[in-house]
Amino acid sequence: MKLSPALESAFNEQIHLEFESVYAYLQMAADLDSQSWSGFSTWMHGQSQEEWMHANKFTQFVLQRGNQVQLRGIGDPAAGLGSPLAAFERALEHERKVSQAIHALYAKAVAENDYASLPLLQWFVNEQVEEEDTVGRIVDRLRLVGNDNTGLMILDRELGQRPAASAAGPAA
Ligand SMILES: [Fe+2]
Ligand SMILES: [Fe+2]
């Protein structure tokens, strides 16, 4: 059974937002790398790859339902975030926005009794809880170390341990 035209367009909107996330995190990775925060940069790269998987997970679902995917242009991401804290604060703000978008999509699917969408959307609801928690804790720890360069170096090294294709990525 196909998605209604309204849901098709809402899912396409979400695909767009996930690809915007790919770009936003790639820009953060580049900004952090240019300041030699290699570990924070690696983490942002991993996050970008995860967003790529999210976009593709939604894309695959829309196609499985027999609907159309229409990609759109992506605007310039915010650049030149001054510090690791500024970058991760921006990431947290972004994840909260994505959570709201997924909740709105869930509400639309429920309103249309589109039960086939709900398992996928519930997976994303759970994923966003995890994402906000992970990024929120990094923000907390960056605030704790403040301008202590030794503390920042330790965090940079720790976050750099994140594998390139995140093991925390979506299951098949
Ligand atoms: Fe995402
Ligand atoms: Fe995300």
Q: Is 54 helix (H, G, I), strand (E, B) or coil?
A: helix
Domains in the chain and their CATH numbers?
A: 5-72+80-159 (1.20.1260.10)
What would the pLDDT profile of 133-164 be if each residue is shown by its tens digit?
A: 999 999 999 999 999 999 999 999 999 998 76
pTM over 0.85? The answer is yes
Q: Report how far ligand 2's centroid is from the alpha carbon of 88 (Å).
A: 12
pLDDT at 56: 98
Q: In which region does residue 146 sit, left (phi positive, over 0), alpha (psi from -120 to 50) or beta (all else)?
A: left
Q: Are 78 and 24 in contact (CB under 8 A)?
A: yes
- What share of residues in the chain are helix, strand, coil (percent, to 5)? 75, 0, 25
Q: Report how far ligand 1's centroid is from the alpha carbon of 148 (Å).
A: 31
Instruction: Compute the distance between CA of residue 166 and CA of residue 170 in angstroms, rounded to an integer.
Output: 9
What would the pLDDT profile of 66-120 be if each residue is shown by its tens digit?
A: 999 999 999 999 887 779 999 999 999 999 999 999 999 999 999 999 999 999 9
Q: Report how far ligand 2's centroid is from the alpha carbon of 49 (Å).
A: 10
